[in-house]
Amino acid sequence: MKSLACGLGLLLVATLTGAAHECERECVAGDTRTCQYRFNLQDYHSMSRACFDCPINMTDCFRPECVSADGVAVPILTINRRLPGPDLQARDRVVVDVYNWQLSDTETIHWHGQHMRGYQYFDGVPFITQCPIMGGIFRYDFIAGTPGTHWWHSHSGLHRAAGVFGAIVVRQADDQQAELYDELPRTRDNNARLDPHFRIRQGENEPAMPLEVVKVAPNQRYRLRLINTEGLNCPMVVSVDDHRLTIIASDGDPIVPYVTDSLVMYSGERFDVVLEANQPVDNYWIRFNGLIICEQLECVQGAVLRYEGAAEEDPTATLSYDSSYPPGVVVNPLNTGGHSEEEVTMAELTALNPTVLEEVVDKKFYLGFNFNQINDLIFYNPELYPFDGVDEKWQVNTPQLNNISFLFPLSPPLSQPDSPNPTMCLYGEEPPCEEGYCSCTYVLEVALGDTVEIVLIDEGKIGAENHPYHLHGYNFYVVGMERLGSETSVEEVMALDAAGGIKRNLKDAIRKDSVTIPDGGYTVVRFTADNPGWWLMHCHLIFHSEIGMVAVLHVGDPQDLPPVPEGFPTCSSFLPEV
């Protein structure tokens, strides 16, 4: 699965093809529709019988339902036998019927970047907003109200890494940045869908698979929508040979255009970039170099930028792994506070729409991200095989928030507010602990309308990793980011803050829903809690969030919410009196 997981890393939405859905259309003010989709979720296989003689016969690789991926045959999970799954393109009411055909597993689908204001029950988090979908069908029904580049993905187990994800593009008739680009590149040349094909670890004995090709006309400007869907821990350095990229939006929010030579993307983040086809007619590499775990694996992926009139062949430059940033400016670099012309962080970009935030907030939280070397009861039995009683190769560190491993409740507090929730614990109170392992449904409570600040701290005690943070239901202003050293602590950051040592940029900060925290440092985010509900906030690495690097933001009271939809499925324990 290793090398396929590499290949699943990044979804290059700009070049998706396939039979167009009726909702994919020119934006005209006032033209709204109901867009219905059927998602068949199923155990599947890459390089299956649907691929016939692929890649000996390259044409076969483009057959419908052939998921060729990087040429490695492995079990995967798909929606409609596609990888990535179908893209939703609209500003409309979206109705998605999820049919769970899996033989032995449950499912939920989360609409990453959609704030679900008024549609809280369809946010797609198991045991927080809904009961997981058993067999059968669940209908998601919401207005895709947050414009820009977003995506959907499974929020159950490791299903996202296995293939359950796709793009959501919400267009606007009144796009403020329409003048910055001429068109979106498309390669709609046959009825088959072109999956992203990437080369992995040049030099390994993998079959030569067809690569993704982005076709451009000379002197046109193209808006590329980039989505980092990975879940391992592989931030990606994106660059295009001989071209600069103009960043115009991130996580759907427009920013003052910023020209860069490369860009780092963390799990969950989206960037809209404009590429101007201003170089000689030729083929050029679009490069994706992985960091952290993908640095150890030397994962490099490439797609071809092909000018009209260029030969149908690979670029002549070599495509090989390189962990260093290309020369020039890098935006969103790994584990740094920036402060230089060459390294620019998310706290240093400027929002297109001016705002000035108040100095004082109503609620403030400090959230420490860390790996702890403890007897996590998921992995250890302190009496039989404790953390410090097993060989080093068996020692797994536990990713936690404020030393707590999140425990999913027994029933969803959003849709079943009256069901008992004995696992709940609140920020600021002593969590329940057993032999040094603290585990509960960790809740941050705020009132509807509160202004909120969260200081996200990556204590970085073990290794130089990185935890990309994601908040459901909102986007937040990124008002500060700093690296203090190879490690820090919540106490140190709180003391620094009390002494006035944390600077906040309250003017024209950009808004995001997914952001990096420098290892051994902090990121400060702010928002107004005007969207009632139970909103998951978590590390976006799948393994970390599944085993507990999660908290939930609870905004408002049940009466602030729309009524629970009629017939909404319920779930609970069955424990009658003995």
Interacting residues with Cu ion (CB under 5 A): 399, 467, 539, 541, 544, 549
Contact between 190 and ligand NAG (CB under 6 A)?
A: no
**Measured between alpha carbons, how far apart are the two ends of the chain, in Å?**
46
Phi first, then psi, for residue 120 (nearest 5°) are: -50, -35
Of 212 and 459, which CB lies nearer to ligand NAG in the complex structure? 459
Strands 451-458 vs 343-344: parallel, antiparallel or unpaired: unpaired
Q: Choose one: 55-63, 71-79, 165-173, 444-452; the region binding ligand NAG (CB under 6 A).
A: 55-63
Of 493 and 550, which CB lies nearer to Cu ion in the complex structure? 550
Contact between 490 and ligand NAG (CB under 6 A)?
A: yes
Q: How far is the CB of 459 from ligand NAG (least distance, A)?
A: 8
Count residues binding ligand NAG (CB under 6 A).
Answer: 9
Contact between 279 and ligand NAG (CB under 6 A)?
A: no
Contact between 403 and ligand NAG (CB under 6 A)?
A: yes
Of 212 and 519, which CB lies nearer to Cu ion in the complex structure? 519
CB-based contacts of 299: which residues, under 8 Å, 6+ apart?
6, 9, 200, 201, 234, 289, 290, 321
Q: How far is the CB of 178 from ligand NAG (least distance, A)?
A: 39
Of 286 and 539, which CB lies nearer to Cu ion in the complex structure? 539
109-124 in b/e form (b: 16+ CB < 10 A) is bbbbbbbbbebbbbbb
Contact between 517 and ligand NAG (CB under 6 A)?
A: no
Contact between 57 and ligand NAG (CB under 6 A)?
A: yes
Of 365 and 568, which CB lies nearer to ligand NAG in the complex structure? 365
Residue pair 457/517 in contact by the 8 Å Cβ criterion: yes
CA-based nearest residue to 516, from 184, 250, 121, 274? 250
Contact between 374 and ligand NAG (CB under 6 A)?
A: no
Q: E-assigned strands of 81-177?
A: 88-89, 93-100, 109-112, 136-143, 148-154, 165-170
As a whole number of angstroms, the distance between CA 346 and CA 476 comes to: 12
Q: Choose one: 56-64, 204-212, 303-311, 338-346; the region binding ligand NAG (CB under 6 A).
A: 56-64
Q: Residues 211 to 230: which contact ligand NAG by CB under 6 A?
A: none
Residue 277 partner contact from Cu ion, ligand NAG, none using kind-dependent CB cut-offs of 5 to 8 Å: none
Of 343 and 458, which CB lies nearer to ligand NAG in the complex structure? 458
Q: How far is the CB of 488 from ligand NAG (least distance, A)?
A: 11
As a whole number of angstroms, the distance between CA 476 and CA 357 comes to: 12
CB-based contacts of 386: which residues, under 8 Å, 6+ apart?
375, 380
As a whole number of angstroms, the distance between CA 263 and CA 288 comes to: 10
Q: Please pick, from the candidates 34, 59, 278, 572, the single residue that binds ligand NAG as defined by CB under 6 A.
A: 59
Q: How far is the CB of 59 from ligand NAG (least distance, A)?
A: 4
Q: Residues 63 to 92: which contact ligand NAG by CB under 6 A?
A: 63
CA dihedral (439, 164, 476, 337) positive or negative: positive
As a whole number of angstroms, the distance between CA 390 and CA 370 comes to: 21
Of 150 and 467, which CB lies nearer to Cu ion in the complex structure? 467
Phi first, then psi, for residue 150 (nearest 5°) are: -135, -170
Of 299 and 549, which CB lies nearer to Cu ion in the complex structure? 549
As a whole number of angstroms, the distance between CA 511 and CA 293 comes to: 28
Residue 85 partner contact from Cu ion, ligand NAG, none using kind-dependent CB cut-offs of 5 to 8 Å: none
As a whole number of angstroms, the distance between CA 207 and CA 56 comes to: 9
Contact between 233 and ligand NAG (CB under 6 A)?
A: no
Residue 63 partner contact from ligand NAG, Cu ion, none using kind-dependent CB cut-offs of 5 to 8 Å: ligand NAG
Residue 426: strand pairing partners: 443
| Burial classification of residue 324, based on how many CB atoms lie within 10 Å of its CB (0-12 exposed, 13-18 middle, 19 or more buried) | exposed
Of 478 and 549, which CB lies nearer to Cu ion in the complex structure? 549
Q: How far is the CB of 57 from ligand NAG (least distance, A)?
A: 4
As a whole number of angstroms, the distance between CA 88 and CA 91 comes to: 9
Q: Please pick, from the candidates 24, 43, 60, 65, the single residue that binds ligand NAG as defined by CB under 6 A.
A: 60
Of 214 and 541, which CB lies nearer to Cu ion in the complex structure? 541
CB count within 10 Å of CB 86 equals 19
As a whole number of angstroms, the distance between CA 142 and CA 88 comes to: 13
Q: How far is the CB of 233 from Cu ion (least distance, A)?
A: 7
Residue 59 partner contact from ligand NAG, Cu ion, none using kind-dependent CB cut-offs of 5 to 8 Å: ligand NAG
Of 431 and 569, which CB lies nearer to ligand NAG in the complex structure? 431
Written as six digits, the tokens of 360 are 């004082």
Written as six digits, the tokens of 103 are 């033989």
Of 140 and 406, which CB lies nearer to ligand NAG in the complex structure? 406
Is residue 507 classed as helix, strand or coil in its secondary structure?
A: strand
Binding pattern to ligand NAG, positions 9-48, x when CB under 6 A?
----------------------------------------
Q: Look at the block and give the residue holding tokens 């427009």.
A: 254
Q: How far is the CB of 478 from Cu ion (least distance, A)?
A: 18
Q: How far is the CB of 443 from Cu ion (least distance, A)?
A: 20
Q: Please pick, from the candidates 129, 156, 239, 402, the single residue that binds ligand NAG as defined by CB under 6 A.
A: 402
Of 492 and 508, which CB lies nearer to ligand NAG in the complex structure? 492
Amino acid at 390: V
Written as six digits, the tokens of 345 are 């962080």
Of 124 and 460, which CB lies nearer to Cu ion in the complex structure? 460
Contact between 301 and ligand NAG (CB under 6 A)?
A: no
Residue 421 partner contact from ligand NAG, Cu ion, none using kind-dependent CB cut-offs of 5 to 8 Å: none
Q: Please pick, from the candidates 148, 235, 368, 520, the single residue that binds ligand NAG as defined by CB under 6 A.
A: 368
CA-based nearest residue to 524, from 454, 462, 469? 454
CA-based nearest residue to 358, from 448, 452, 447, 445? 452
Q: How far is the CB of 107 from ligand NAG (least distance, A)?
A: 32
Q: E-assigned strands of 278-357?
A: 283-290, 300-307, 330-331, 343-344
Q: What is the dihedral of CA 355, 361, 366, 369, to 10 degrees?
A: -20
Q: How far is the CB of 571 from ligand NAG (least distance, A)?
A: 32
Please report, as ranges, the residues that interact with ligand NAG according to CB under 6 A. 57, 59-60, 63, 368, 402-403, 490-491
